[in-house]
Amino acid sequence: MNLTEIRQHLTEKKYDARLITRNNLFLGQDTLERENLILALTGFSGSAGTLIVTGKKSFLFTDGRYEIQAARQVNPEETEVICDASLTDWLQEHFSAKIKLEYDPWCVSIREVLQMKHRLPGLRLYPKTETCVLEPASVFAHELQYCGTDTKEKCALVLERLRQKNCRACLLTAADSVSWLTNLRSDALPDTPVVRAMALLRDDTGITLFADELSFPKDCPYPVLPLAKMEKELAAAKDLTFAVDEQRTPDAVRRIFEKHAVKTVCADDPCQLLKARKNKTEINGMINAHLRDGTAVCKFLCWLEHNNEDLSELDIVEKLHEFRKQQPLYYSDSFPTIAGVGANAAVIHYQPTEETNAPLAKNTLLLIDSGGQYFNGTTDITRTVALGTPAKEMKEKFTIVLKAHIALASARFPKNVPGAVLDAVCRSVMWRFGLDYKHGTGHGVGCFLNVHEGPQNLSPRSFSCPLEENMVVSVEPGWYRENAFGIRIENLVRVIADDQLPDMLKFSILTLAPLDKRLIDKYLLTGEEIEWVDNYHREVFRKISPGLTEEEKSWLEEACSSL
């Protein structure tokens, strides 16, 4: 169905609009390209977008990360792009007191529906489920040597959290929660090894999985039923009180609960916070995965230094992938590599295609944001590289971004500090120079799971989840000048206790790869900042050099030499 056909359908039904998301029934998780309705209807490939189709026009709501990208990809005659605006406010402004809105209840969360109903008393919702045919995939165990805690112990922790809410059951609809709880992974997605399944957890019968087109191991200890059987199982458990995460649960599930008079309590997904706090095995695995990944990235950067003639962005993507897959325990990339040169680097989440692939040009910048999935950890790193001689402005802006990165990476902070406070620690350095960036400062990272993991993150709106020991987050300030160049510096860090200041926390850096010193104006750095860079580079050389050839080691020694 295209936009014209949707408009005709709305006219026939006498509806005002249709709400379309890029979700399937696993809300907030990665999707395959063919499952992305917004991509099919508008050409927009970004990870954040909601589409409203009316009888006359369509409107794409996204955020500042995708402002340039959406303008490039979307036909303005068909679809108007609206950045950083409230969808509910817009609906309230553009429609009368009553609005008939069609939506797919499997692709919109309970919370989103409740918020719209609260703000729009005259809203009438009309469900229309679009069948999502899942592709066949295999499921495999995430071995105890990598995950560190067996499912029995994890279930006990989750059930205890349910008891604290006076609940005896929950339906886990987030694929990463199900994967973490069951210690299972899958090849259903190219870069994210989650099991696309839902799980019913009861205190009397344990786990029942619901999945379509998944091939589970013969020794899988849990019953697996088709997704179509889920309503019957939920109805049969109506005597139990369910904890329901309204943010991660599709509105279709709420409708099932109401239909069968199932008792519910609003509560956060109990797996999310437990999953975010990495255990000792996971921490050691993440450290090891970053050592392997740093080796691959350093080999790549050495190769790029000596082989940057007649290359394109797609050549960069392919070569970096080659170096990663040579590393032990490598499974896949953790997301499609961002490799943007010149003006493409100013598109925050740009990913080269055959149509957009640009050659590497002299005297500009190359931004590379990439990561790997290893059986013992997940990585995410961004480096900005000078091609030829960088302009004065490029060095100046890179150094300011570096100062912001150092400010947060070296910060000490009290327990229970929310991510918004730490975002401001980083961003305020940029503000002193009149600069800012249209994305968060950091996101949580899973362990052989989603490279973007909640509930922890560092952004101006992050107040609900304070950082805790053994959470892993990114630190990635940037700066972007449209049609010119883009800069981002990203390391992953682990939250640890400060051994010198009781009740304080700090970061331990996981990522190991040099910063491009050609882009650093050391005269803009303080003595402490120069010391931070030199200490970081010494640590990179100490840990990475044993895994390199003599030529690579010589390159790294120079790349990590003192400022």
H helical segments located in 432-503: none
Cα gap 294→181, rounded to integer Å: 29
pLDDT in tens, 54-93: 998 999 999 888 888 988 999 999 999 999 888 888 888 8
Residues in the chain: 563
- What does DSSP say about strands 123-127 and 99-103: parallel, antiparallel, or unpaired? parallel
Q: Beta strands 338-341 and 364-370: pairing type?
A: antiparallel
Tell the residue number behind the tokens 């040597």, with chain if given: 145
Element (H, E) at 505: strand 504-509
Considering the domain delimited by 3-127, tell me its CATH architecture.
3-Layer(aba) Sandwich (3.40)
Domain boundaries, the chain: 3-127, 137-275, 277-554
CA 301-510-387 angle, 5° bins: 20
Residue whose entry in the numeric block shows the structure tokens 């900042």: 529
| Whole-number pLDDT of residue 20 | 94
Low-confidence ranges of the chain (pLDDT < 70): none
- Which parts of 421-502 are beta strand (E)? 442-444, 453-458, 472-475, 478-481, 485-488, 491-497
pLDDT of residue 158: 98
- CA–CA distance from 312 to each of 345, 358, 423 (Å)? 13, 6, 34
Q: What pLDDT does 85 receive? A: 84
- Tell me what pLDDT residue 274 has: 97
Note the pLDDT of residue 64.
82
8 Å CB contact between 38 and 124: no
Neighbours of 75 (CB within 10 A): 10
Q: Amino acid letter at 535?
A: N
Classify 277-554 by CATH class: alpha beta
Same fold, 137-275 and 277-554: no
* Rounded CA separation 544/292 (Å): 8
Q: How many CA atoms lie within 13 A of 287 on its CB side?
A: 13
Token code pair at residue 365:
């910048």
For residue 386, list its beta bridge partners. Answer: 365
Q: What is the pLDDT of residue 98?
A: 85
pTM, two decimals, is 0.95
**Half-sphere CA count of 255, side-chain side, radius 13 A:** 14
Distance CA 443, CA 491 (A): 11
Res 241: pLDDT = 97
Q: Are 371 and 379 in contact (CB under 8 A)?
A: yes
**Residue 71: Cβ-neighbour burial (10 angstroms; 0-12, 13-18, 19+):** middle
Predicted pLDDT at 516: 98
Q: What is the pLDDT of residue 397?
A: 98
Architecture of domain 137-275: 3-Layer(aba) Sandwich (3.40)
- Rounded-to-integer distance, Cα 38 and Cα 51, Å: 7
